[in-house]
A and B are shown apart, each in its own frame.
Chain A
């Protein structure tokens, strides 16, 4: 047994090893450490804070359920992101089939503007509206990218994964990752040009 405080010091990979043996305290440490990051990827993928929260839940739930499939020595983040993206992609298919549960709307973007700034009161209403508009605009273009492009771009730009890790997560070649990210960026750039 080890102390929960000591768990906070361990690297992700060691905690993942403990989790694979059913250690719930180690699992909790990993959740605390990566909740923000997973939430942010889900948010970029879905465009909705509420949906992102559910996707993040499902991600960690699946991670624990499939804990024994973690391979010792593998980079934990890449494994986590792979699960996360798969959850989001599955959700995407479900949404396409059944329609969205929550649409990106005023509430999500404005609440995001509130949460994202440490002190929302410091923003005057105009600046706040500006941030809301920016968030909505980014989410709109990101969520309209074809799903494979979006997944690759989100993992690169917001997740900071290497092309190799993205290739592992999306189960495709590095060449495919390269072209998907490039096309996604060009679409975003075209969108910005249209706006000007």
Chain B
């Protein structure tokens, strides 16, 4: 019995042609001598034949076309093709990364400038700002804040609202010393979330445009058909008879 085990373990590999010449020779030698293993070999082959005898539903060409259509829709929504420069280096990730970097930078600048302009016009946010400043790290010196907010401050000076804005900016863009802040207050994270939301809205709009176009096409087709099926009285019949 024991002598059968090595053969039985390798029977499938033998049937599948996956044994090296030595292994094949050993199995064949045993099969010649052992009727039980020969029988098992036959039964395993029969098992394969039985499995293969059951037909699988075979998609037709039309099925494949419909399948591909469905796949395209899925890809368009979840895997939109990146807008990239003419195929010089299609693998380059810059086509995606660069606009994102620019968008991030632009939004950072907006965050610094826009909330400042808004806040200076209403008293409540200023109180918020004061408490935020009190709660903030005391070690952040004015010079550090000045370095970070240098560029926005220059912009704001031109608009004549520098005093308030400089304070706002010092909160909006914390000094490098305060880098251990919670993620929820990170303007970059907030900006990215906003951008993601905007992107989702754009996608939503794109989808509704597609739906709208499809509906419009269907409606126009229906109208054309309806028009074609009508019986019109020819013009000449409408003319007053002479």
Central interface residue in A53, A117, A139, by most chain B CB within 10 Å = A53
Question: Is A22 a contact of B81 with CB atoms below 8 Å?
Answer: yes
Complex formed: what's the CA distance from A134 to B54 in Å? 6
Q: Which of A3-11, A29-37, A96-104 contacts B (4 or more CB under 8 A)?
A: A29-37
A182 to B51, CA, bound (A): 14
**Cross-chain contact A178 with B56 (CB below 8 angstroms):** no
The B-contacting residues of A in range 101-135, CB under 8 angstroms, are 111-113, 115-117, 131, 134-135
- Closest B-chain residue to A52, C-beta based? B57
Give the distance in Å from the alpha carbon of A156 to the alpha carbon of B81 in the complex: 35
**B126 interface residue per 8 A CB criterion:** no
Stretch at the interface among B72-80, B129-137, B184-192: B72-80
Is B55 within 8 A of A179, CB to CB? no
| A79 in the interface (beta carbon within 8 A) | no
Prevailing SS type, chain A contact patch: helix
A57 touches B70 (CB 8 A): yes
A-B contact list, 14 entries, CB within 8 Å: A21-B90, A21-B91, A22-B84, A35-B68, A39-B56, A40-B58, A115-B57, A117-B55, A135-B55, A157-B48, A157-B52, A178-B18, A182-B8, A185-B47
- CB contact under 8 A between A185 and B48, given known A31-B71, A32-B68, A162-B18: yes
CA distance A81 to B124 in the complex (A): 62
In the complex, the answer to whether A61 meets B75 with C-beta atoms within 8 Å is yes
Name the 7 nearest CB pairs between A and B, nearest first: A116-B55, A138-B54, A115-B57, A182-B12, A21-B90, A188-B47, A112-B57
Q: Number of residues in B with C-beta < 8 Å to the partner?
A: 40
Q: Tell me whether A68 and B79 are in contact in the complex, defined as CB-CB below 8 angstroms, given that A134-B53, A178-B10 are known contacts.
A: no
Partner of B68, one of A28, A65, A116, A142: A28
Query: Which B residues are CB-close (under 8 A) to A24?
Result: 75, 81
